[in-house]
Amino acid sequence: MKEPISITAINSISPLGISLDETWKNYQHSDHHIKLKSFKGKNIFVSTLSTTAKAEMKALKNSDSKYKNLDDSVLFAIYASRKAVENAGWKDSDNFGINIGSSRGATALFEKYHEDFLKNGISQTLSSPTTTLGNISSWVAHDLQTRGPEISHSITCSTALHALLNGMAWINSGMTTKFLVGGSEAPLTAFTIAQMQALKIYSKYHPEQIRAEHSRSIEGSYPCRTLDFKKKENTMVLGEGASIACLEKGKKKNALAIIEGIGYATEILEHNISISAEAGCFQRSMKMAIGALNPDQIDVIVMHAPGTIKGDISELKAIQKVFGKEIPAITSNKWKVGHTFGASGMMSIEMAILMLKNQKFVSVPFIENLKQPKQLKKILINAVGFGGNAVSVLLSKD
């Protein structure tokens, strides 16, 4: 890295809430935010926005006639971006850049328009402009009235962290000093869930099974068993939300965290949907992010860990390869909020920032004997998507 980059603000809208304070409060208990919801007559586990977040989305959608025709993925990004920019103290005249991506984009809206086309044979006027992937950053730029560059992309589940890398590249190039980066995802549709089920990675737990295995209520059990390396079946669950961060050049006094290192890697696929048994891409991305630091200087790793057998274990093996027998404390938030696809990497960044700020480790409650960190100074965050495109980001609190 040429020089440090500061994260001066971050905000999300998710099952955990709409602010850092509310999100941190929800990290303090062992309850998850995964519920049964009916899709095409079938009850499926998903993680939906919190009650307060849903109310905010309804208000945003009704605040402007133009917003009524936008997909939730765009509305999530607009809301989280407004809050992040406000918290960072940015002004319209700053002309900051924007890179907000999504794995799926305007999923629900695209499906709605396509279903209407199949029925009537005619496409509605707004079907194209409101479903292009680029409309997320474009609408955020319109809403914030900035005149900087606008970029959207999809690199599946590592989308948000690739947005962070790209924002850093623009800053380090000298073309700008500020960039708004992140990811937004609204994937809770019957078709999207069916795609994950077709891959045989979605949680198939039934209420009766949960009660039998855990002797607890449905709400108190854990349908997504992230970091449970003894699980016998895949337990990925989808969630929705957006998480947006403000990047600024150099070490700022108001920095929530400093980006101390970054790493990225892609590996040759061994299977259409998964990385290798020891996640070579993660090994390379983590080594690159750590750089010249001694591995024992890393206090915590926020794992990507989607809740699948192979996904969780391969990432753990990569960590063991890089760190040896004494691996750092490990954690993840997908047991609590599900997998938010393109937004998940920035959700993990937010979790790391909150741990650094509050100097408190957020563990996985249903796993016993997980290592606790002795301190919280440096946290490594991982993300990877279909195609083995891994990203690792090292944060520190200066």
Give the model confidence (pLDDT) of 345-386 as tens digits. Answer: 999 999 999 999 999 999 999 888 789 999 999 999 999 988
Query: What is the rounded CA–CA span in Å between residue 394 and residue 260?
Result: 5
Residues in the chain: 398
Q: How confident is the model at residue 209 (pLDDT cuts 50, 70, 90)?
A: low
Q: How confident is the model at residue 215 (pLDDT cuts 50, 70, 90)?
A: very low
pLDDT of residue 11: 98
In this prediction, residues 151-179 reach a mean pLDDT of 96
pLDDT of residue 94: 75
Extract the tokens encoding 128: 């194209």
Residue 204 predicted with pLDDT over 90? no
Query: What is the rounded CA–CA span in Å between residue 164 and residue 101?
Result: 10
Q: How confident is the model at residue 210 (pLDDT cuts 50, 70, 90)?
A: low
C-beta of residue 383 within 8 angstroms of C-beta of residue 390: yes
Q: How confident is the model at residue 274 (pLDDT cuts 50, 70, 90)?
A: low
Q: Do domains 5-193+236-249 and 259-396 have the same CATH topology?
A: yes
In this prediction, residues 12-31 reach a mean pLDDT of 97
In angstroms, how far is the first alpha carbon of the chain from the final one?
A: 16
Q: How confident is the model at residue 91 (pLDDT cuts 50, 70, 90)?
A: confident
In this prediction, residues 259-287 reach a mean pLDDT of 86
Query: What is the rounded CA–CA span in Å between residue 38 and residue 219?
Result: 16
Percent of the chain topping pLDDT 90: 86
Name the least confident of 58-72, 125-139, 205-219, 287-301.
Answer: 205-219
pLDDT of residue 3: 82
Q: Report whether CATH 3.40.47.10 matches the domain 259-396.
A: yes
pTM of the shown model: 0.95
Return the sign of the alpha-carbon dihedral for residues 292, 298, 303, 309.
positive
Query: What is the rounded CA–CA span in Å between residue 144 and residue 137?
Result: 10
Average model confidence (pLDDT) across the chain: 93
Return the sign of the alpha-carbon dihedral for residues 210, 194, 129, 244.
positive
Residue 244 predicted with pLDDT over 90? yes
- Tell the CATH topology of 5-193+236-249: Peroxisomal Thiolase; Chain A, domain 1 (3.40.47)
Q: Where are the domains of the chain?
A: 5-193+236-249, 259-396
Name the least confident of 74-88, 155-169, 257-271.
Answer: 257-271
C-beta of residue 52 within 8 angstroms of C-beta of residue 22: yes
Whose CA is closest to 180, among 322, 85, 275, 62? 85
pLDDT of residue 207: 52
Name the least confident of 34-48, 79-93, 207-221, 318-332.
Answer: 207-221
Query: What is the rounded CA–CA span in Å between residue 190 and residue 205?
Result: 17
Helix (H, G, I), strand (E, B) or coil at 10: strand
238-239: strand order across its sheet: 35-39, 42-47, 238-239
Percent of the chain topping pLDDT 70: 94
C-beta of residue 347 within 8 angstroms of C-beta of residue 333: yes
pLDDT of residue 211: 53
Q: How confident is the model at residue 266 (pLDDT cuts 50, 70, 90)?
A: very high
Q: How far is CA 396 from CA 16, 180, 279, 290, in A?
A: 23, 19, 25, 12
Q: How far is CA 157 from CA 60, 160, 337, in A?
A: 26, 8, 15
